[in-house]
Chains A and B, each alone.
Chain A
Amino acid sequence: SAVISQKPSRDICQRGTSLTIQCQVDSQVTMMFWYRQQPGQSLTLIATANQGSEATYESGFVIDKFPISRPNLTFSTLTVSNMSPEDSSIYLCSVEIGTSGANVLTFGAGSRLTVL
């Protein structure tokens, strides 16, 4: 199974600033996924990041707010831009593992952001 490292693990940010979250995987993967876990809510997919192409964003998420980079097959970044308190969440990176067709995901430990 893949090992995913995320950083920062947590941060406290000021309104209006931007923060970039890094995700490193110990093996090459085709797709990387970014999820948001708001307090008391389920995980929501933000976007899917493929190496060498633009990320695909889910409804309600836009590139200007959440720009994503995917420079190679083991690394991705998610930037939360112009933050507001509503962006306070845990942001999770994940990758698909296995070939059983059951869409099993492995997750990083998450980055807990608090926006003041």
Chain B
Amino acid sequence: GNSVTQMEGPVTLSEEAFLTINCTYTATGYPSLFWYVQYPGEGLQLLLKATKADDKGSNKGFEATYRKETTSFHLEKGSVQVSDSAVYFCALSDPGGGADGLTFGKGTHLIIQP
């Protein structure tokens, strides 16, 4: 079955540091890939997505590239801010279609210190 594996947290960085949160997946076919973010006390929000191989999703300075050859979708940001502190979830949609096919990773708690 489908699965998503992302790096364990918490990840603690200083402000302006470079961020990478690793995400790899297992799926049959060609899933769409997502990063969701959950700020303290709020619901999950879509951060970015990519629907096919080599696509790059980007938003708010975050980027992730759909790498089919390595089945990865690592999240990166060049210079993090304190306001980026949140839990980040990598997810994929079932290639068979249907929103109920979303599979999530366990989430990575990111802490940015001033």
A residues whose Cβ falls under 8 Å from a Cβ of B:
4, 6, 31, 33, 40-45, 48, 56, 58, 92, 94, 96, 100-110
Contacts and interface: CB of A to CB of B under 8 A. Distances in A.
B44 A104 contact: no
Contacts of B4: 42
Interface string B76-114: 000000000000010001100111111111110000000
A96 B99 contact: yes
A102 B99 CA distance: 8
Chain A contact residues: helix, strand, loop or mixed:
strand
Given A92-B44, A106-B46, A42 B104 contact: yes
B43 A108 contact: yes
Nearest to B39: A109
Interface of B: 4, 32, 34, 36, 41-46, 49, 51, 89, 93-94, 97-107
A100 B41 CA distance: 29
Given A42-B89, A43-B89, A104 B49 contact: yes
B109 to A, nearest CB: 10
Q: Which among A45, A56, A92, A103 has the highest number of chain B CB atoms within 10 Å?
A: A103
B96 to A, nearest CB: 11
Contact of A40 (B46, B93, B101, B106): B106
B107 A33 contact: no
A58 B97 CA distance: 16
Given A108-B43, A109-B41, 15 more contacts: A31-B100, A42-B4, A42-B106, A42-B107, A44-B104, A56-B100, A58-B100, A92-B43, A94-B44, A101-B51, A103-B93, A106-B43, A107-B43, A107-B45, A110-B43
